[in-house]
Structure 1
Amino acid sequence: MSLTSETSMWYDKPAQNWNEALPIGNGRLGGMVFGTVEQEKIQFNEDTVWYGGPRDRNNPDALQNLPLIRQLLFEGRLKEAHRLSETAFSGTPRSQRHYLTAGDFCIQVDHPEGELTDYRRELDLDKAMVVTTYQYGGVAFRREVFCSYPDQVMVIRLQADRPGALSLVSRFERKKGKHMDASHRHGDDTIIMSNDCGGKDGLTYSAAAKAITASGSVRVIGEHLLVDQADEVVFILAAASTFRVNDPEQHCCKLLEQASARDYSVLRDDHTTDYQKLFHRVKLGLGDSSKGDCSALPANERLERVQAGDDDAGLYTLYFHFGRYLLISCSRPGSLPANLQGIWNDSMSPPWDSKYTININIQMNYWPAESCNLAECHEPLFELLERMRDNGRITAQKMYGCRGFVAHHNTDIWADTAPQDIYPPATQWVMGGAWLALHLWEHYRFNPDPEFLKRAYETMKESALFFTDFLVESPEGYLVTNPSVSPENRYKLPNGESGTLCYGPSMDTQILTELFDACIQASQELGLDEDARQEWMETLKQMPKMKIGRHGQLQEWLEDYEEKDPGHRHISHLFALHPGTTISPDAAPDLAEAARITLQRRLANGGGHTGWSRAWIINFWARLLDGEEAYEHTKQLLAKSTLPNLFDNHPPFQIDGNFGGTAGIAEMLIQSHLDHVRLLPALPAAWPDGNVQGLRARGGFRIDMKWNGGCLTEAVVISEKGQKCRLYTEQPVRVVNAQGKEVPVERRGSITEITAQKGEVYTIIPAKVDAVIS
């Protein structure tokens, strides 16, 4: 028996549309490779190509109307509150900036007479490269495309096995030329496209492509780059905007000059080595390939089989690795963070502006960063948050008269923190910055570094400071947020009226509980701010507690309202279950059962119909220790919300489901959000045998595991920080160090405590396995 562990997704025909093209990226520069035979098309993006410049959109009338809208909500005068919110608490203007496509690079290939045979298009996740091969008229053609992080360029190589068989014409395109400002030559082997992103104080950008060949000829005619009678040609493509450099065209030419001075093999090997340092950290094997190895089938056919009700063990490992690949490809140090589409967008006006929606979606993008051993990929989000802090101070003061910083439910390239849209179910929500600040705390929990905590604490504390000022006493005597919403749901009043605005919704309280708790712990560890710590502790005591409603569900609002849409895609009031920590079957079984009922009610009414929502549901069930439900919804994510190129389908494409699904698989295998590490907490029966290497646990631990027959057979814990390791195991275990010596442990109930030494490796052997061995 062999376990499936797949890192290749392949197709037997070219992409017919964008949802079938294959993604590449280096964080800053990305592309979608179509693999079309006659004309290769690579739609490309640069992460800073956004419309417009920075603005102050803070509504100048918000502060003076804040007491009134609070009074209206406390008195239940909903219609008046909604009208006031839409005028005084929306942004001015209403919308933030949006992401744009950079363009297309098109390569028209002249083929010999004959027929097309042996076509194969493949995304090699192990090498981060798209490879297209085929035969035409008896000539074998091969294309390789990748985006290099070390060289910051896209590299495209075309080869033919008959001397002089490659003749082609290439050019830049951008939405059929309607959005291209200028295209010109640079010498005899390079073409350059330059464009204005549009809008007041907007950016400009350039893209440049250079052709290199050892045989044949290269020339520029008009805006076309031509290659004649070559054996092989290498294109190097660069793009840049004025967001980072003063002269994008000059910068692109410099990148091309540096990259073209090196052989293709060196560019490729440096790219692969750099990428594999991240990708190879985690390996996963699931299921028994002897019971149906589908790797010989194209990825789209495998997906169709799952959609028809069949199973495919290898497709789960492929999907997991694809998610890690995407995060490496669209979020690297120095880039902007992954937006709603990662980095891949072919539209001038993309869905939801392809920006940063921070009431769940962008946070979900980074759920796998820590557990799946890609902590560096988290850094761009932290950098954006630091820029948001500057703007958020202005928003906090101008709109609410509060100290600290605040952000609403969206942001953009300029770190805008004012409200987005005039959309009652979402706009007036002040928790976006607080949720993002918790990502700093999560990074620290996985990587306990006092120097990082000092930096993170200032941001966390400043978010908490806003709420210290913003919270107001409700008629019930609680400290609550007001005004607010429960994203993005509506409730029904007994008189039939529906509403969105409210005070003290459950999600707000849950986020603030996590934030204040994190600030308390951080201040204790750093020995700072004792007075603030006491204030946070007092505030926590005055906030509402979670309540169980009439159906046995966890209440979404302070009152036990009925939902307007009981199958709504947002399940925000289960934040405390995931990604929060205050609901768990062991520590809070009554709340965990209420969370279970909440999920069942949502699903019974059509919930999980968007990809990202289904991904969140996987994580919920994993936290409830229900492996069968978590597995079922992983299967449903593939069957109902995944496009042929394995991109997540909201619909349309939205990348958060990919990242949430990857994180959910990791959550089924290891959990460490409480005060211990739990191995195989939600292992489904469909994965009775398996192994994983390199997952991370909070406390600075790397974990390798093997299991057989649904039971753990061995685990290896690598301690990176020397913190105490508390393992939850159903039966006693033996612990052996790297020298083969047994390590003394303390066993309290189901918890085994190991006094771990920094850099030490510990092998965990369950008692049942040990008995068999002896």
Structure 2
Amino acid sequence: MISSFFQKSCFLVLFSILGCQFSQAQSTDKSLYFKKPAVNHLESLPIGNGHLGGMIFGNPNQDRIILNEKTLWSGGVQDADRENAHQYLSKIQTLLLNGNNKEAEALLQEHFVSKGVGSGEGIGANEHYGSYQTLGDLLISWADTLQGYENYSRVLDLQDAIATTTWKRNGVTFTQEAFSSIADDVMVIKLSASKAAQLSFAIGLDRKENVAFSSAGDDILLMTGQLPNKDLAGMKYAAMLKVVQEGGTIKNTGKQLEVDGADVCYLIIAATTDYNIDSPAEPIGDPVKEVSKTISDFKIATARANHIQSYQEYFNRNSFQLTSQDKGVSKLSTPERLQRYAEGNEDAQLPVLYYNYGKYLLISSSQPGQLPANLQGIWAPEYQAPWNGDYHLDINIQMNYWLAEPLGLGDLAEPMHRFTANLVESGEKTAKAYYDAPGWVAHVISNPWYYTSPGEGAGWGSTMSGGSWMTEHLWEHFRFTQDTAFLKAYYPVLKGASEFLSSILIEEPENHYLVTAPSNSPENSYIKPDGYRGHTAMGPTMDMQIGRELFGNTIEAAEILGIDQDFTAILAEKRARLAPNKIGAAGDLNEWLHDWKETDPHHRHISHLYGLHPYDEITPWATPDLTSAVTETLKDRGDDATGWSRAWKINFWARLGDGDHALLLLKKLLQPIGGDGSKIVWGDGGTYSNLFCAHPPFQIDGNFGGTAGIVEMLFQSHGQDEVIRLIPALPSSESWQKGSVKGMHARGAFVVDFSWAKGRIAAANIHSLKGLDCKVLLPAGMKILDASGTQLGENTGNDAKEVEFETRAGMDYQLVK
């Protein structure tokens, strides 16, 4: 796309990249820092406003900025249900009841998977299922590359959400600032120089397929297209680039804009599609008109301030600090810090940086009214994203939102709530087609078209509890906020999921438990005593745990709302008969209804520990025997796994109160991974240079799950009694012994600030939002005071003690020594 006008002396590029670096101080807990341009997207700096994302390479010669628009998907609405699949349900269940799992799985593969190719085995860009796709590239080719460059720096400031690249060439310092504004719904790139009339470059938009380019004025480029949907018309999109300059001249060649001798330039990008979030079968709006209006409404004068204000309104709600510092770290790049940390050196602020980065990524990839963050958040360079960049309902999309509620960012989980509700309509059809059942179901995978059918493979696609798991986030939002209006609005979603699950349960013959059938324990397989290795089963442990949680949540929600007593009475009866957690002969927790061995003892999914996390029916203080069993399971599975699996294990060990093991897993999660992300190594997860989590390849759920794990190490409020626990899994490492947290949210609608020193709580403040009774595990030697100084509780013993006290809405309560 870039004209030969600026293709000069390319032999100097390598010299420029390798020979011109310098070190500068950085904010070690709130900035990513690179000493050279990115060579791939896993070294780039991500920016985003929820739906419009950019990945900044920062090359002073020919720069690339990958563009993404969250709704840009190939494919479209499809009918993937086998309408008469339910005719085979009874036979499949009978085979399972009789122990004929092999025949059951074969019959399931023949008649009970999706119609057609489903997701295309994760390569569905050219199928009806579709794939998340990059919007394209913004390319900047500088005119003065003959001189090389020096003093290079590329920094992502997490406090302001601005990516800044600086370099010096021929005595002139150049600066590129980039951000994606929540307030103005545009991406802005400001180019400036330390001397006047120094900005000379060509700029263009590029896309490899399904694209047309045109100019819409002397300073505007337009990129439009329509993605494929198999043999049907697909999604329309538009992206507009406008250049606003101070000084110099600009020329529009039709394919690019050429700027010569400018003092300052602003590149403004807007993008959208005709996707209709609540009715995908009915495209809405004219993308060209939409981006034109966005660009015309944009005002440069207030853009930076608007961006920072809208972003910080989320970012500043919560903070985490560790007081320890490490000399010399501030001059190291982020990749250098990762390598140093992996070699066993201390970097007290690296876990804090990872925490802040997780918070940044959530704000930047999930805003109210949008689709949820997908497997890549919003940052993907591919036209065929890994696993279609879709929504996996057997942990991945849920993990993306574990951190939202405790960080006070529950409003950023609105896309997750909306998505769950929008699954109901198609899920009702799927429930009827496969199970002849009321209510709604969603299986393992979904997309913007609200796909709810089973996957195309019996080995993984028949897990039936994906939709039920999604509803956990609805109930958790209520637990944290006590918002009865929200609960009333979403109660039908909970009820529909319960209607389905309660109607399809069957009685197994050995213990007369109620179980699901057919189903899977996500993506794992078993070995029966007769040697058969299979996936299809009845009553896998995770299904039973999710069933108890869903029924319990629905019962409690109905009680709060004063409705559906007859229905919840039936749920309570069935809940009591669900197959319980069972401890196997080896002392671990059974993954299946029977004590079968796993084909892969170190499998990345540990789905049967759902009851430990995110559900809370297994806790060290209430279920010691099961706690021992899950601990044994974690030891057996080991610490090595894919990136997101390591993140989940951090949460597990934190729930068990073992901060040192949680930190060990965090260090494993942060082990540096090189390459371009194309290689898949199932047991070798870690972190790429730009802190993206390596599955590998890149999946953002590990970032979010890792951040949530740090939260669990510092703060917990789960369990039947929702007791607030401060630093419940604090590592013994010296760098963790002094710190503070502000703005942590607890179940029961409390906001908590606290600090600790020498590994013990020094002070805390609990703010009551709704005036409910508060329970806190009060450290030894501390007391609770209200705003007037009246003592409400005291612990004069040597061990922490649970204390309950009344609160008033809007009031603060102090924990002091």
TM range (shorter): over 0.9
The answer for the alignment partner of 2:188 in structure 1 is 155
Structure-1 separation of matches of 2:509 and 2:424? 32
Q: How far did residue 750 of structure 1 move? A: 1.9
Name the SS for the 2:330 alignment partner.
Answer: coil
Aligned counterpart in structure 1 of residue 39 of structure 2, from 12, 16, 27: 16
Is contact 1:112–1:137 with CA below 8 Å preserved after alignment? no
Structure-2 separation of matches of 1:273 and 1:286? 26
Is contact 2:782–2:794 with CA below 8 Å preserved after alignment? no
The answer for the alignment partner of 1:194 in structure 2 is 224
Aligned counterpart in structure 1 of residue 637 of structure 2, from 602, 613, 617: 602
Matches within 5 A, 1:359-508: 359-422=394-457, 424-476=458-510, 477-508=512-543
Q: Deviations over 1:173-201 (max 9, x none)?
A: 11xx3x14210000111000111111124
Q: Deviations over 1:717-737 (max 9, x none)?
A: 111111111001242532223
1:742 corresponds to 2:790: yes
Aligned counterpart in structure 1 of residue 699 of structure 2, from 654, 661, 664: 654
Q: How far did residue 746 of structure 1 move? A: 8.1
Structure-2 separation of matches of 1:736 and 1:459? 41
Is contact 1:425–1:486 with CA below 8 Å preserved after alignment? no
> Could you tell me which amino acid in structure 2 is paired with residue 613 of structure 1?
S
Structure-2 separation of matches of 1:612 and 1:263? 40
The answer for the alignment partner of 2:214 in structure 1 is 184
Q: Deviations over 1:222-268 (max 9, x none)?
A: 21111111011001001111114421111111111111xx234x101
Is contact 1:746–1:753 with CA below 8 Å preserved after alignment? no
Matches within 5 A, 1:283-302: 283-289=319-325, 291-292=326-327, 294-302=329-337
Structure-1 separation of matches of 2:791 and 2:814? 10
Aligned counterpart in structure 1 of residue 78 of structure 2, from 51, 55, 72: 55
The answer for the alignment partner of 1:638 in structure 2 is 670
Is contact 2:28–2:330 with CA below 8 Å preserved after alignment? no
1:144 corresponds to 2:161: no
Provide the TM-score with structure 2 as the length reference: 0.90
The answer for the alignment partner of 1:90 in structure 2 is 113
Q: Deviations over 1:419-475 (max 9, x none)?
A: 1232x3320111011000110000000010110111122111110000111111111
Is contact 2:41–2:57 with CA below 8 Å preserved after alignment? yes
| Residues 678/287 of structure 1: CA separation in 2 closer, same or farther (3 Å cut) | same
11-20 or 52-61, which moves further after superposition? 52-61
Name the SS for the 1:19 alignment partner.
Answer: coil
**RMSD of aligned alpha carbons:** 1.4
The answer for the alignment partner of 2:677 in structure 1 is none
241-250 or 688-697, which moves further after superposition? 241-250
Structure-2 separation of matches of 1:597 and 1:536? 32
| Residues 468/569 of structure 1: CA separation in 2 closer, same or farther (3 Å cut) | same
Provide the TM-score with structure 1 as the length reference: 0.95
Is contact 2:132–2:390 with CA below 8 Å preserved after alignment? yes
1:214 corresponds to 2:246: yes
Is contact 1:189–1:220 with CA below 8 Å preserved after alignment? yes
Q: How far did residue 86 of structure 1 move? A: 1.2
| Residues 736/231 of structure 1: CA separation in 2 closer, same or farther (3 Å cut) | same
Structure-2 separation of matches of 1:151 and 1:314? 33
Structure-1 separation of matches of 2:793 and 2:561? 29
Is contact 1:292–1:312 with CA below 8 Å preserved after alignment? no
Aligned counterpart in structure 2 of residue 239 of structure 1, from 265, 268, 271: 271
Q: Deviations over 1:541-579 (max 9, x none)?
A: 111111100110000011000110000000000000000
1:110 corresponds to 2:143: yes
> Could you tell me which amino acid in structure 2 is paired with residue 233 of structure 1?
C
> Could you tell me which amino acid in structure 1 is paired with residue 341 of structure 2?
V
1:763 corresponds to 2:814: yes
Q: How far did residue 527 of structure 1 move? A: 1.1
> Could you tell me which amino acid in structure 2 is paired with residue 189 of structure 1?
D
Name the SS for the 2:42 alignment partner.
Answer: helix
Q: Deviations over 1:310-350 (max 9, x none)?
A: 22111000000000000000000122100000011111111
Is contact 2:222–2:239 with CA below 8 Å preserved after alignment? yes
> Could you tell me which amino acid in structure 2 is paired with residue 648 of structure 1?
C
1:249 corresponds to 2:298: no
Q: How far did residue 497 of structure 1 move? A: 1.6
Name the SS for the 1:397 alignment partner.
Answer: helix
Aligned counterpart in structure 1 of residue 710 of structure 2, from 641, 665, 675: 665
373-382 or 109-118, which moves further after superposition? 109-118
Q: How far did residue 214 of structure 1 move? A: 2.1
Name the SS for the 2:46 alignment partner.
Answer: strand
Aligned counterpart in structure 1 of residue 65 of structure 2, from 32, 35, 42: 42
Q: How far did residue 18 of structure 1 move? A: 1.0
Is contact 1:82–1:501 with CA below 8 Å preserved after alignment? yes
The answer for the alignment partner of 1:355 in structure 2 is 390
Q: Deviations over 1:672-711 (max 9, x none)?
A: 1111111111001121111111111111111111101110
Structure-2 separation of matches of 1:744 and 1:666? 27
Structure 1 spans left out of the alignment, 5+ residues: none
Is contact 2:74–2:133 with CA below 8 Å preserved after alignment? yes
> Could you tell me which amino acid in structure 1 is paired with residue 762 of structure 2?
T
Structure-2 separation of matches of 1:113 and 1:105? 22
Q: How far did residue 292 of structure 1 move? A: 4.1
Structure-2 separation of matches of 1:699 and 1:469? 32
> Could you tell me which amino acid in structure 1 is paired with residue 658 of structure 2?
D
Is contact 1:385–1:415 with CA below 8 Å preserved after alignment? no
Structure-2 separation of matches of 1:225 and 1:83? 59
Structure-2 separation of matches of 1:754 and 1:234? 56
Q: How far did residue 150 of structure 1 move? A: 1.1
Structure 1 stretches of at least 4 aligned residues deviating more than 3 Å after TM superposition: 745-749
Structure-1 separation of matches of 2:327 and 2:609? 37
1:703 corresponds to 2:752: yes
> Could you tell me which amino acid in structure 2 is paired with residue 685 of structure 1?
S
Name the SS for the 1:288 alignment partner.
Answer: coil
Is contact 1:293–1:312 with CA below 8 Å preserved after alignment? no
| Residues 362/112 of structure 1: CA separation in 2 closer, same or farther (3 Å cut) | closer
Structure-2 separation of matches of 1:140 and 1:280? 32
454-463 or 121-130, which moves further after superposition? 454-463
Is contact 1:433–1:463 with CA below 8 Å preserved after alignment? yes
Aligned counterpart in structure 1 of residue 628 of structure 2, from 574, 587, 593: 593
Is contact 2:784–2:794 with CA below 8 Å preserved after alignment? no
Is contact 2:322–2:739 with CA below 8 Å preserved after alignment? yes
1:263 corresponds to 2:311: no
> Could you tell me which amino acid in structure 2 is paired with residue 221 of structure 1?
T
The count of residues paired between Structure 1 and Structure 2 equals 751
Name the SS for the 2:524 alignment partner.
Answer: coil
Structure-2 separation of matches of 1:510 and 1:746? 37
136-145 or 413-422, which moves further after superposition? 413-422
1:561 corresponds to 2:596: yes
Is contact 1:293–1:314 with CA below 8 Å preserved after alignment? no
Is contact 1:54–1:201 with CA below 8 Å preserved after alignment? no
Q: How far did residue 40 of structure 1 move? A: 1.7
Structure-1 separation of matches of 2:342 and 2:794? 48
Is contact 2:421–2:490 with CA below 8 Å preserved after alignment? no
Structure-2 separation of matches of 1:737 and 1:543? 44
